[in-house]
Structure 1
Amino acid sequence: MPLDFSPSREPLSTFSLAGMTDIVLLLLIFFLLTSNFIPQMGIRVTLPQVESSAPVERDYVTVVLTDEGTYYVNGQRVSESRLVASIRSAKTTQSALVLRADQGATIGQFATVASAAQALNLRVLMATERNRR
């Protein structure tokens, strides 16, 4: 008696897209999440808005100035009296200091950071946000 190897059922003529949509959804979530990973400091400040901004060098010392008058050097909170020493210890080969100052910060606080940078022979760059229109 010969064996019958013919399929008893008809082949599937439809293709399920459920697996494909799951993969597309996961890829979409991955790209949305990773596109928001822009290197920014964890200290919240409202940067001044300007019409255009220049790109910033990668090799710099970052000083954050909050609206309460608190200073942060590379993410570490420092007092005003220790500002120059903290910038000096953070500086290795950098030639620039990026100041991320809140809009509510005073010009006197900015002058304190600028004089500390001048004492250490650093250029001062002001971080801003581009005006969105």
Structure 2
Amino acid sequence: MPLNFSSGRKPLTAFSLASLTDIVLLLLIFFLLTSSFVTQRGIEVNLPDTASATPLEAQYVAVSILPDGSLFVDEIPTTADSLTALLASVKGERDAIAVYADTEAQIGSLAAVAGAAAELNMRVSVATDPSSGTSGE
């Protein structure tokens, strides 16, 4: 005599989407949080390589220095003479400057940025590229 294991109930045809919506919500939160950490700059410079680099804070004024000595403050072109005035106008609540200096840039441009930062009582951080850094080679 064969055993009958069927319960006689109709199979459940409705599928609950609660777990799927939870996963989609978590993915959405993950992508929203990680996308805010991506820094996008409009001025392209070749950053110097270092063995380790500290990440820059979210509250900074971006200053780019090109190899020919051109200065850009938050993508606004400027000169060394008008740098302090432009930094003061775009500063707002930010108290730090991130310097994106090309490897071929002159040290005089960096000194001009540091001098303007000192006048405005702002900290200066120099951006580097940690991906291909060398340690004393």
TM over 0.5: yes
After TM superposition, the structure 1 = structure 2 runs for residues 1-133 of structure 1, keeping only pairs within 5 Å, are 38-132=38-132
RMSD in angstroms over aligned alpha carbons?
1.7
Q: Which runs of 5+ in 2 are unaligned?
A: 1-34
Q: Deviations over 1:95-120 (max 9, x none)?
A: 11000000011111110100000000
Give 3-state SS (helix, strand or coil) of 1:97's partner. strand
Unaligned runs of 5+ in 1: 1-34
> Which residue of the partner structure matches residue 18 of structure 2?
none
Identical-pair percentage: 38
Which secondary structure state, in structure 2, belongs to the residue aligned with residue 49 of structure 1?
coil
Alignment partners' CA distance in 2, 1:132 and 1:105: 19
Distance 1:83 1:59 in 2: 19
Name the residue aligned to 1:29: none
2:25 match:
none
CA distance, structure 2, for counterparts of residue 128 and residue 119 of structure 1: 24
The runs of at least 4 consecutive aligned structure 1 residues that moved more than 6 Å come to none
1: distance between equivalents of 2:124 and 2:72?
15
Once residues 83 and 118 of structure 1 are traced to their aligned partners in structure 2, the CA distance between those partners, rounded to angstroms, is 12
Q: TM-score, normalised by structure 2?
A: 0.67
TM-score, normalised via structure 1 length: 0.69
d(CA) in 2 for partners of 1:116 and 1:107? Answer: 14
